[in-house]
Amino acid sequence: MTSIGIIGSAGRMGVALAAAISEAGQRSCGIDKGGNVVRLASDADVLVDFSSPAALEATLDACVAARTPIVIGTTGLEERHHYLIDDAARDIAVLQTGNTSLGVTLLAHLVREAAARLDSEWDIEILEMHHGRKIDAPSGTALLLGQAAAEGRAIDLATCSERGRDGLTGARGHGKIGFASLRGGTVAGDHDVIFAGPEEMITLSHRAENRMIFARGAVRAALWLIGQKPDRYTMPQVLGLSSAQ
């Protein structure tokens, strides 16, 4: 039986993860804010972290010291966090993603394929909606889908995206990837990737009905990650969609 450690075990995702781990016939252990992450990393076979960017550095240090692989589903990460992840991945297996849903993972693959085959006359817009308590926007999933579209177009998302349109913004930038964020209610996560072409439109969508889909995907990723060599991994690799993306 595999022991999967949960960072933030009393939170909404932590509770869902514990249920998914039990459902998979594995054992869970966990900590919350102020808990001993060093001990958890030593006791568990793999960690799963959906907590906060502020806690990530200490968690990575503990995992490296214990040689424990980790799945990171925390959103709102900044550039410096990715440097920390890259550094840790020299010593341990790390899987970082903006969304652990298996359905979203496949959606990103389809978005990349569509973007590669439809030229820049097809505008790309990404619309996401989440519950009113979500603190970051666009969502990690929206950014993941935007990155997939950018890779399909062979462009840089950081310099080719549009967000927060308001007032007299001028015409839409040619070849840009647009983002829009909605917040309200108890929505677990809705995402639409719209390809708007001359006189026709394609929409690729995903609806999350319950956060258990993220928990189950994270557990599958965690079990897959055990035994992998030190490196940085992604969800498409878990599904066998790609060895590099």
With vertex at residue 129, the alpha carbon angle to CA 122 and CA 115, rounded to the nearest 5 degrees, is 20
Is residue 4 within 8 Å of 31, Cβ to Cβ?
Answer: no
- Please state, in angstroms and rounded to a whole number, the distance separating the CA atoms of residues 50 and 13: 7
User: What letter represents residue 120's amino acid?
Assistant: S
- Please state, in angstroms and rounded to a whole number, the distance separating the CA atoms of residues 245 and 241: 8
Sheet of strand 200-208, all strands in order from the earlier edge strand to the far edge: 161-162, 177-183, 123-130, 189-197, 200-208
Residues with catalytic roles: 130, 134
Is residue 4 within 8 Å of 45, Cβ to Cβ?
Answer: yes
Give Cβ neighbours of residue 225 (< 8 Å, ≥ 6 apart). 46, 69, 70, 71, 93, 95, 233
Is residue 51 within 8 Å of 70, Cβ to Cβ?
Answer: no
